[in-house]
Chain A
């Protein structure tokens, strides 16, 4: 590990918002004070704030790097700091089997790094997330940041970069799975005019926090990816749109932009190609619909986040009519590793139709919640059961799992019987769900599916922009009808109406929000219909 060479002993403390909420701040303060006060002999360990260390449920997380080895601790409090520092300073490698009760207490917090949750990860997007200090450009550079951008500027034409990305088979990680190389070509091959690139960081799906982790943990990786995309399509200006609910991500990203501009990594003309790229940050204001690309552009332009009918697609006419490339944060953050290993090597990971790795955020009723980056095509069971451990205390072959909700409000629920489904765009779509941006929420048997469908429908009704009628009025009617069903006041005729309405909203809505809003309902009706029918009012024969 590279870190081991520069700092023989270091403490990497997860300083992402998940661990902060779990008390990382107090732990950092205690560590800082103890290190300040000295004590112990040996070299003084260095305390380094880093991005997400993956296993959010066991936060605050702390990794102790000691001469090339690394130990991860979870749920530490200020009380354990002296013991931890004693280990760090005096007993290299002596983490196990000690008679000191305080050490035994500390050992109870140590996490098994060989557990499948860590062992099965294949970090590319997140390869330096958790290793680099997200506030320190020099540290990022030491970990290889901007190296691919500089190499490509020196050795490759934009067309060559696009060809490499086409070869990799990378598909957009925002949910639709559109081939990235094709999108880039569409923008690059428009008639001569200024072009723009936009990084979509409006990660609004409840249960999704992949993009947040990239922005908080490794902002320079995103900037490098965005600059590469800009070079490949001929853009000199770009926007990064981040939702306002992510203040730490905004702070880190803003600092990273300033650092990269000051250092001349961005913003200044490259001597060989004349390429200069200026990124600008735009902060949302709380509107889920702004994840839809035309609404996103309306919001960047300072207006209401109202989608418009496509075509024309933003790749043809986007911001101010310019061809505009919009890529998701994770897609862009995958580029540095992809271009380092080459398109062919990247395409060899995972299934041919849908190659590469994907970051998933696993939450809900599981033992281990957090972030995993795994090859596409891995089975749902491997992620939620083998890695995440299934439902706490869950028994049976499926580990107590009833279903897995994928894709947030635009996705659906897959029952435990389908856990062996390989995860990819088409596979999940064929089963009536969708991969979405990568949120996996595990449901146990206490979860009532119609209630979950009602929750998502109410969410979509609240987030509908109000422009087109099927979405504005249809989602509200559906949410009310589902509420009626939950109160056991709905009849079989109401259920018919629910299905008719759902089909019309899906088919006639203007944008993706409305078109997918009924998905959780439709998918739970498909796999759990009995939970709906058992809540209906009994037939009243005297009325018919």
Chain B
């Protein structure tokens, strides 16, 4: 099925594999990273370097529920900072503390491209319009 290989070496699949493992386990533990390194025959330091470079890879377990606040320009102008402060108070957690209160954590997320609805809130992965406080 695979067409003729167009390169001397097919490009690495590391990022795809990391996505898969994070989907399975919720985060990328050191054990997972060590296994990935072994499977793909990559130096462990390289695997850790890649996993820690990208914001969406989590190296620590996430809380069961997560609330994201978009800090894109449009959301910022329409009160994202006040929204974040209000949510932090409501949930009793600090912004961008991945541990949260063990149940909820509050994080800033990069622009989701839903600027028409600013400010945008992401509840457990589902973006929705938030009323500016």
- Residues of chain A whose beta carbon lies under 8 Å from any beta carbon of chain B: 17-18, 20-22, 55-57, 59, 194, 196, 203-209, 212, 236-237, 244-247, 267, 276, 278, 282-288, 299-305, 319-322, 361, 363-365, 369-370, 405, 408, 439, 441, 443-444, 447, 452, 455-456, 465
Q: Mark contacts of B1-42 with chain A using CB atoms, 8 A cut-off: 1 yes-contact digit, 0 otherwise.
A: 001101111011111101100000000000000000000000
Report B-chain residues with C-beta under 8 Å of the C-beta of A205: 111
Report B-chain residues with C-beta under 8 Å of the C-beta of A363: 73-74, 115-116, 118
Which residue in B15, B49, B114, B126 is a CB contact (below 8 Å) of A209?
A: B114
- The 4 tightest CB contacts between A and B, nearest first, are A56-B116, A302-B12, A209-B113, A285-B54
Q: Find the B residue at minimum CB distance from A280.
A: B11
Is B56 on the interface with A (CB-CB < 8 A)? yes
Q: How far is the CB of A144 from chain B (nearest CB, A)?
A: 26
Q: When A245-B109, A285-B56, A304-B53 are in contact, do A18 and B9 touch as well, CB less than 8 Å? A: no
Q: How far is the CB of B115 from chain A (nearest CB, A)?
A: 3
A278 to B7 CA separation, bound complex (whole angstroms)? 14
Q: When A282-B15, A285-B55, A305-B54 are in contact, do A319 and B7 touch as well, CB less than 8 Å? A: yes
Q: How far is the CB of A260 from chain B (nearest CB, A)?
A: 15
Report B-chain residues with C-beta under 8 Å of the C-beta of A283: 15-16, 19
Which residue in A57, A208, A408 is a CB contact (below 8 Å) of B117?
A: A57
A245 to B110 CA separation, bound complex (whole angstroms)? 8
Q: When A22-B129, A194-B6, A278-B3 are in contact, do A56 and B15 touch as well, CB less than 8 Å? A: no
Q: Find the A residue at minimum CB distance from B125.
A: A247
Report B-chain residues with C-beta under 8 Å of the C-beta of A246: 112-113
Report A-chain residues with C-beta under 8 Å of the C-beta of B112: 17, 245-246
Q: Find the B residue at minimum CB distance from A25.
A: B126
A278 to B4 CA separation, bound complex (whole angstroms)? 10
Is B104 on the interface with A (CB-CB < 8 A)? no
Q: How far is the CB of B106 from chain A (nearest CB, A)?
A: 17
Which residue in A204, A236, A455 is a CB contact (below 8 Å) of B110?
A: A204
B115 touches A17 (CB 8 A): no
Report B-chain residues with C-beta under 8 Å of the C-beta of A408: 73
A278 to B1 CA separation, bound complex (whole angstroms)? 11
Q: How far is the CB of B91 from chain A (nearest CB, A)?
A: 20
Report A-chain residues with C-beta under 8 Å of the C-beta of B18: 285
Is B82 on the interface with A (CB-CB < 8 A)? no
Which residue in B9, B14, B50, B115 is a CB contact (below 8 Å) of A207?
A: B115
Q: Find the B residue at minimum CB distance from A465.
A: B53
A287 touches B54 (CB 8 A): yes
A212 to B127 CA separation, bound complex (whole angstroms)? 15
Q: Find the B residue at minimum CB distance from A409.
A: B73
Q: Find the A residue at minimum CB distance from B109.
A: A245
Report B-chain residues with C-beta under 8 Å of the C-beta of A55: 116
Q: Find the A residue at minimum CB distance from B50.
A: A304
- 18 pairs from A and B in contact (CB 8 Å cutoff): A18-B117, A21-B129, A22-B129, A56-B115, A194-B6, A194-B7, A206-B111, A207-B74, A209-B113, A237-B3, A267-B3, A285-B18, A286-B54, A287-B53, A300-B11, A302-B13, A322-B7, A441-B77
Which residue in B8, B12, B125 is a CB contact (below 8 Å) of A301?
A: B12
Q: Find the A residue at minimum CB distance from B52.
A: A304
Q: Find the A residue at minimum CB distance from B128.
A: A21
Q: Find the A residue at minimum CB distance from B112.
A: A245
A59 touches B12 (CB 8 A): no
Q: How far is the CB of B37 from chain A (nearest CB, A)?
A: 12
Q: Find the A residue at minimum CB distance from B57.
A: A285
A17 touches B113 (CB 8 A): yes
Q: How far is the CB of A451 from chain B (nearest CB, A)?
A: 9
A196 to B114 CA separation, bound complex (whole angstroms)? 32
Is B76 on the interface with A (CB-CB < 8 A)? yes
Which residue in A59, A196, A284 is a CB contact (below 8 Å) of B6?
A: A196
Report A-chain residues with C-beta under 8 Å of the C-beta of B49: 304
A286 to B109 CA separation, bound complex (whole angstroms)? 10
Report A-chain residues with C-beta under 8 Å of the C-beta of B125: 247
Is B100 on the interface with A (CB-CB < 8 A)? no
Q: How far is the CB of A370 from chain B (nearest CB, A)?
A: 5
A301 to B112 CA separation, bound complex (whole angstroms)? 25
Interface residues of B in 81-133 (CB under 8 A from A): 109-118, 120, 125-129
A465 to B50 CA separation, bound complex (whole angstroms)? 12
Report B-chain residues with C-beta under 8 Å of the C-beta of A322: 6-7
Most B Cβ at <10 Å: residue of A18, A246, A247, A456 = A18
A285 touches B15 (CB 8 A): yes
A241 to B74 CA separation, bound complex (whole angstroms)? 25
Report A-chain residues with C-beta under 8 Å of the C-beta of B129: 21-22
Q: Find the A residue at minimum CB distance from B11.
A: A301
A445 to B73 CA separation, bound complex (whole angstroms)? 15
A114 to B72 CA separation, bound complex (whole angstroms)? 31
